[in-house]
């Protein structure tokens, strides 16, 4: 017996096929209008469900990643700082470094786009279906050290288990607490053992990390693992933040 449209919709709800439910009316009209062969219509309908699940998964991965904006390199102005390692940034954006278990260290002057590039890579990894953890380093250390032990354990697991970890703005607050140094070492060590990629951005040169950690041995331990299979990108140039601030000031001055 043929089902009515409301019955089909109810069945699709029962079977949890919202992707098919959303497009069914259109697919039926399309098939009738073009005399589409049944198998062609059926595969389009199946694809609708697959597409819907895929986009829901990506949205969930994005929510879990800790990213707060969907940045890409499309809006990046490469002419502003012509010495930036543009090719290496796009190479990272292909994400082959994740499959190879390699790391990336983006080091250089403030406001030159290190965090922007790291966030764009992280977002691209989310779109490609990877589990990503994006952490603002200081914020993560502070929160982590204040949270209760069982919560800490679970959080640490999710950070170690992710396919890609981004530690943004490391050592922004010149020195970090001793426990944070130990935490950083654990994270890097665990991920190194598992061949899982880490992207670190910092405006502090690696030669000074020992000072910020107040422990040269710990610094060597961390850098040794980070830099073993690593893309080292140097960001030389002027601050885009200052450029934007100067432009805002100029606008204010002309509007007076
Ligand atoms: N070349 C650029 N084109 C467009 N926007 C840029 C460019 N460089 C930086 N920006 C923007 O300027 C702001 C500062 O950049 P970002 O936070 O990436 O700098 P950073 O190198 O991480 O600095 P810091 O060392 O202080 O953390 C961001 O809003 C970023 O999107
Ligand atoms: Mg930054």
Instruction: Give the pLDDT of the chain (256 residues) as one tens digit per residue.
Output: 799 999 999 999 999 999 999 999 999 999 999 999 999 999 999 999 999 999 999 999 999 999 999 999 999 999 999 999 999 999 999 999 999 999 999 999 999 999 999 999 999 999 999 999 999 999 999 999 999 988 999 999 999 999 999 999 999 988 788 899 999 999 999 999 999 999 999 999 999 999 999 999 999 999 999 999 999 999 999 999 998 888 888 888 888 7
Burial class (CB in 10 A: 0-12, 13-18, 19+), 43: exposed
State the pLDDT at residue 223.
Answer: 97
- Backbone phi and psi for residue 81, each to the nearest 5 degrees, phi listed first: -125, 85
pLDDT at residue 54 in the model: 93
d(CA 39, CA 192): 48
What pLDDT shows up at residue 247?
Answer: 86
For ligand 1, is residue 185 a contact (CB within 6 Å)? no
Give pLDDT, residue 253: 83
Dig out the tokens for 34 from the structure: 């073009």
Cα 78 to middle of ligand 1, angstroms: 11
Instruction: Give the distance, in angstroms, between the CA of residue 193 and the centroid of all CA atoms in the same chain.
Output: 21
Alpha carbon of 89 to those of 28, 47, 69, 95, 127: distances in Å? 45, 33, 19, 10, 17
Atom of ligand 1 nearest to the CA of 169: 27
Question: Which residue has the least CA distance to atom 8 on ligand 1?
Answer: 113
Q: Where are any strands of DSSP class E within 55-161? A: 103-108, 132-136
Q: Decide: 143 and 111 in contact? Cβ < 8 Å.
A: no
pLDDT of amino acid 83: 96
* DSSP three-state, residue 150: helix
Strands of 164-168's sheet, edge to edge? 132-136, 164-168, 197-202, 103-108, 230-235
- Confidence at residue 47, expressed as pLDDT on a 0 to 100 scale: 97
Which pLDDT value is given to residue 178? 87
Q: Which domains are present in the chain?
A: 5-65 (no CATH), 86-243 (3.40.50.300)
Ligand 1 mean position, distance from CA 249 (Å): 19
**CB 132 within 8 Å of CB 95:** no
Q: Hey, whose CA ends up nearest to atom 24 of ligand 1? A: 110
The Å distance, Cα 206 to ligand 2 centre, comes to 15
The residue behind tokens 């601030």 is: 245
What's the confidence (pLDDT) of residue 244? 87
């Amino acid at each position: 017996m043929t089902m009515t449209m409301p019955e089909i919709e109810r069945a699709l709800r029962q079977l949890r096929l919202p992707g098919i439910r959303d497009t069914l009316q259109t697919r039926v009209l399309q098939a009738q209008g073009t005399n589409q062969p049944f198998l062609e219509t059926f595969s389009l309908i199946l694809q609708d469900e697959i597409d819907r699940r895929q986009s829901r998964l990506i949205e969930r991965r994005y929510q879990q990643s800790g990213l707060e904006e969907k940045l890409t390199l499309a809006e990046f102005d490469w002419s502003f700082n012509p010495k930036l390692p543009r090719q290496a940034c796009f190479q990272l954006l292909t994400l082959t470094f994740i499959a190879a278990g390699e790391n990336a260290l983006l080091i250089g002057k403030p406001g030159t786009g290190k965090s922007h590039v790291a966030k764009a890579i992280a977002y691209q990894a989310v779109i490609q279906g990877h589990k990503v953890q994006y952490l603002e380093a200081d914020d993560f250390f502070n929160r982590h050290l204040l949270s209760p032990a069982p919560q800490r354990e679970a959080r640490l697991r999710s950070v170690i288990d992710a396919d890609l970890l981004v530690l943004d703005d490391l050592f922004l607050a010149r020195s970090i607490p001793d426990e944070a140094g130990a935490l950083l070492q654990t994270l890097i060590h665990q991920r190194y053992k598992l061949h899982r990629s880490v992207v670190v951005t910092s405006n502090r040169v690696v030669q000074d990390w020992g000072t910020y950690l107040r422990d040269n041995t710990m610094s060597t331990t961390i850098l040794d693992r980070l830099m073993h299979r690593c893309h080292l990108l140097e960001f030389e140039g002027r601050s885009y933040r200052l450029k934007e601030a100067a432009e805002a000031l100029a606008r204010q001055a002309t509007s007076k």
